[in-house]
Structure 1
Amino acid sequence: MPEGHTVHRLAAAFRDGLVGGPVRTSSPQGRFTEAAQIDRMVLLGAEAVGKHLFLAFAPSDDVDLDAPVVRWVHVHLGLYGSWTFAGEPGFAVLHAIGAPRVRVGEQESALPEPDGDDDDGDGRGAGTADWRYLLPRPTTRLRIQGPRGLADLTGPTACELLDGAGRQAIIDRLGPDPLREDADPERFVRRVLASCSPIATLLMNQQVVAGIGNIYRAELLFRARLDPFVPGTELGRGLVEGIWEDLVELMRYGARTGRIVTTQPEHRLLDARIMERTRQNGDDDPTVVPREQSFYVYHRQTLPCRLCGTEVRSQELAGRTVYWCPGCQKVRSRKAAWIGQHPAAPWALETGDD
């Protein structure tokens, strides 16, 4: 399931490529019949809240986002959802987010040009590779097409049309999103400190904090040197505030690059292995940190900890697998001394940012 930073990247892709003008909307699969209600409307805006994407549609571009006439397409990708993009050069820096990660047009056939010309001499109409003539896959729940490109949605957990009140009701159920300017970290701190649930469970509760998935959960707790099973009520305020601060920096890096990297540079070559070889965006780029070097404990069960050599463990907790190092991660109430004090944080080292 895509974690929160990827949904923020999706919202940015829509803002850059499709927001601001009228678009065509359809549901090739036929399951999102509401697509006909917003067809030819203007895509006014796109925003992410945790793992939820909201796309605003209105009859014209001079409508305020909070106007009653605005309709919101709410999408939650879940485990199997995916957005794929195609368009003219520069239309979208992303080609796909979610699973499966394929490009629009892969394993698809193209429609012939209207005039039937065959300038390429290959038995097809001229320019049939043009994105305008790409057929959607039969499983496409929603296609949004603008003058410069298109986006196809397949396999989402949720795809629904809401009014403003419906959108707000979803947002009100969520905890603060570390990537939003309006996030209130105090809400996160209070909810953690007041709960008897294990901190590992709380970090995956979207009502406590919006956008964290299993990778961020495992890596945050390792970086905090914190036992995943400690109840929130046993933690100190400073420690919980430190987890929030670390999460903000890690997710900002993820939103900027499309990758999750939690290891410090000096630790990446220490036992650079991982138990499950899944892909991240950019894995074919030799300039990025390989997945095998990106994590401390996530999918490193049975392997030695990069720092202390203790075997990394895994266990099911509330329906999801939690990963941790028993040697490094202890019951503690204070912020781990190294969090926030490393001068060569991964986001600074890789990007050159201050």
Structure 2
Amino acid sequence: MPEGPTLHRLARLHQRRFGRAPVRVSSPQGRFAEEAAILDGRVLLKAEAWGKHLWHHYEGGFAVHVHLGLYGTFTEAPVPMDPPVGQVRMRMVGAEFGTDLRGPTACELHDELQVAAVEARLGPDPLRKDADPEKAWNRISSSKTAIGALLMDQAVVAGIGNVYRAEVLFRHSIHPERPGRELSHDEWDAVWADLVDLMKLSVRRGQIHVVRPEDDHGEPPYAKGRPRTYVYRRAGEPCRICKTAVAHSVMKGRNLFWCPTCQPS
């Protein structure tokens, strides 16, 4: 599932290509046809992201809510676009570019009250200027739940997925099973600041980069379609720092990776 930086990159792309201008909206698949007819020809005022959620705000108080889930994708093409191929839930066409949305978990039309209701259920997003890390800290510091699970809870922190969960905990020597209430405020401040920096870097570069320069030994940044990491998807391989075998388990249905030496329990 795409993590927060992917949605923020999409929001920036859509704002640049479609923002502040009328957009032709259709639903070749038909599952979004009534909503598309309402939006067709309206001005897209703003595209933005909150965690793993993408919003397209249109004139008239309408907003399209998109959650890509596991299989959702946007594909871009210059105008004129070719006829739709496959199950295109929503097609947007601007003056110079168009985009097709396929396979999202959610593609729905909201008013601003519904937008506010969705956002009220989300934790702070490290990539948003209005994010308040104290809101997340209040949840974490009073919880017996493992920090590894709390970081994946979108109501605690929005936009974090399995890669950032595993890597930020390694970078701060925090065992993923440590209860949230056992973290110090200083530890949380450091984790939050690191998430902000790492996720901003991903937005700028379009790729996840989590290995510090001093631990980078000239390996390709991406191999076999995945980023170079400290522990994520490296079960059984030697830790880049101490050479201990990276451990693996499952937490709340998601794969969990950590170094038993660098992240003591």
Q: Does 2:246 correspond to 1:312? A: yes
Find the counterpart in structure 1 of residue 15 from structure 2: 15
1:110-136 deviation digits (Å, cap 9, x = unpaired): xxxxxxxxxxxxxxxxxxxxx414112
Shift of the 273–25 alpha-carbon distance from structure 1 to 2, 3 Å rule, reads closer
Question: In structure 2, what residue type is equivalent to 1:251?
Answer: M
Question: In structure 2, what residue type is equivalent to 1:38?
Answer: L
Rg bigger for which structure?
1
Q: Does 2:3 correspond to 1:55? A: no
Question: In structure 2, what residue type is equivalent to 1:26?
Answer: S
Find the counterpart in structure 2 of residue 335 from structure 1: none
Shift of the 50–231 alpha-carbon distance from structure 1 to 2, 3 Å rule, reads same
Find the counterpart in structure 2 of residue 39 from structure 1: 40
**Which secondary structure does the structure 2 equivalent of 1:36 belong to?**
helix
Map 1:1-354 onto structure 2 (within 5 A): 1-33=1-33, 34-58=35-59, 69-87=60-78, 131-269=79-217, 277-279=224-226, 291=227, 294-331=228-265
Aligned partners of 2:216, 2:69: CA distance in 1, in Å?
30
Contact 1:312 1:323 in 2 (8 A): yes
Question: In structure 2, what residue type is equivalent to 1:316?
Answer: V
Structure 1 portions without partners, runs of 5+: 59-68, 88-130, 280-290, 332-354
Question: In structure 1, what residue type is equivalent to 2:173?
Answer: R
Compute the TM-score of the two structures, normalised by the length of structure 2: 0.96
**Which secondary structure does the structure 2 equivalent of 1:132 belong to?**
coil
- Larger strand proportion of the pair: 2
Shift of the 231–273 alpha-carbon distance from structure 1 to 2, 3 Å rule, reads farther
Structure 2 portions without partners, runs of 5+: none
Count of aligned positions: 264
Compute the TM-score of the two structures, normalised by the length of structure 1: 0.72
Contact 1:25 1:40 in 2 (8 A): yes
**Which secondary structure does the structure 2 equivalent of 1:170 belong to?**
helix
Aligned partners of 1:43, 1:273: CA distance in 2, in Å?
39
Question: In structure 2, what residue type is equivalent to 1:323?
Answer: F
Contact 2:81 2:98 in 1 (8 A): no
Aligned partners of 2:131, 2:193: CA distance in 1, in Å?
12
Aligned partners of 1:239, 1:307: CA distance in 2, in Å?
20
| Off by >2 Å, runs of 4+ in structure 1 | 276-279
**Which secondary structure does the structure 2 equivalent of 1:245 belong to?**
helix
Find the counterpart in structure 2 of residue 97 from structure 1: none
Question: In structure 1, what residue type is equivalent to 2:224?
Answer: R
Aligned partners of 2:249, 2:145: CA distance in 1, in Å?
16
**Which secondary structure does the structure 2 equivalent of 1:300 belong to?**
coil
Aligned partners of 1:236, 1:85: CA distance in 2, in Å?
45
Q: What percentage of residue pairs aligned between the two structures are identical?
A: 48
> Aligned-residue CA RMSD in angstroms?
1.6
**1:54 Cα deviation after fit:** 0.5
1:65-103 deviation digits (Å, cap 9, x = unpaired): xxxx3100000001000011112xxxxxxxxxxxxxxxx
**Which secondary structure does the structure 2 equivalent of 1:252 belong to?**
helix
Aligned partners of 1:19, 1:200: CA distance in 2, in Å?
37
Contact 1:47 1:53 in 2 (8 A): yes
